[in-house]
Amino acid sequence: MALPYQWQWRIDKWKNAVRGLFGGGNQQPRPKICPACGSLVGISATKCHQCGTNLTFSLAAVSKGLSKFFGGRAPVTTVILIANLIMFAISWMATAASGQGGGLSILWGLGGEALYRLGESYPPAIFFGHEWFRLVTAMFLHGGLIHIGFNMMVLMDIGPVVEEVYGSAKFLFLYVATGVVGFLFSAFFGGHPSVGASAPILGLIGLLIAMTTKRGGAHMQDLRSRLISWVVSIFVFGFIMRGVDNWAHGGGLAAGFVLGKLFADREPLNATERRTANLLGLLAVLALIASFALMILHYRDLGQNS
């Protein structure tokens, strides 16, 4: 059975990316293009003469490489999807190892000690134990297949749109920042354990709503009306159903709207803007690395003490 065209194209991209790791065969060397400013530079150049970007290693070069490897315009959205799926598998195995998670509980029954050890948002641990990494790790954890399934469908529907508007580096910063604010709201006002990607996803919706307020036209008005109706439905559903964290949703939405008003809703236009976007993306990457490193240390320490 033949693969769909989109997957054939993606596999070809992966092959080309892997082939490039080993020198690209017998291809003749060609002039390079700076990943930060787009200037044409010499074959042997290690720095861009226009903006000074290191051509050997830079966040812009990594982002460009990721985009080629994942075969699309939304590499960060794809990486976030994969990270959520990996963390769900880990949390399910950790729950099963503790003697829980059997039967249909995988649909919406994961939780307890496993999610606590893996970094769920837990107010006493955050405010009294100073485990601030939970504000980051919580957005990659989910309470069951239904939870993660719904969130990932919405992420893959909205994420690529927002990433294409702001660029990958700035998108990553906005995703992490809105998620952190959402779980900070949840911990401070909600006062109960919480997990899920819905906080940063509502942040993306907040960004889109802010974007429609800065652009005129009937299409933007229609989009804004549909987004607001969607948000109202999410909050009504949250009040009806148990276990839905409206504080995290509200915090993420508010943070997204404010940041959407502050940030220009377009990709960086010049070297200075690209450098700023890349620094924001680097800040988000460092926050993710530090948070997951602290989570691993915390998980190990709890295991030794139990």
**What is the average pLDDT across 243-250?**
91
Q: Quote the pLDDT of residue 198.
A: 95
Q: Quote the pLDDT of residue 97.
A: 77
CATH code for residues 72-305: 1.20.1540.10
Strand partners, 121: 194
**DSSP H or E run through 210:** helix 198-214
Domain range list for the chain: 31-71, 72-305
Name 139's Cβ contacts closer than 8 Å, sequence gap at least 6.
176, 179, 182, 183, 195, 196, 197, 199, 200
Q: Quote the pLDDT of residue 21.
A: 39
| Whether pLDDT at 40 is above 70 | no
Q: Compute the distance between CA of residue 265 and CA of residue 223 in angstroms, rounded to an integer.
A: 15
Percent over 90 (pLDDT), the chain: 47
Give the pLDDT band (50/70/90) at residue 230. confident
Q: Compute the distance between CA of residue 209 and CA of residue 257 in angstroms, rounded to an integer.
A: 7
**What is the average pLDDT across 268-275?**
87
* Burial tier of 176 (Cβ tally within 10 Å: 0-12, 13-18, 19+): buried
Classify 41 as helix, strand or coil.
strand
Q: For the segment 256-266, what is each residue's pLDDT rounded down to a tens digit?
A: 999 999 998 88
Q: What phi, psi does 202 have (nearest 5°)?
A: -65, -30
List the alpha helices (DSSP H) in the chain.
5-21, 59-70, 75-97, 105-108, 113-117, 123-127, 134-137, 145-166, 168-185, 198-214, 218-240, 246-262, 271-305
Beta carbons of 185 and 247 less than 8 angstroms apart: yes
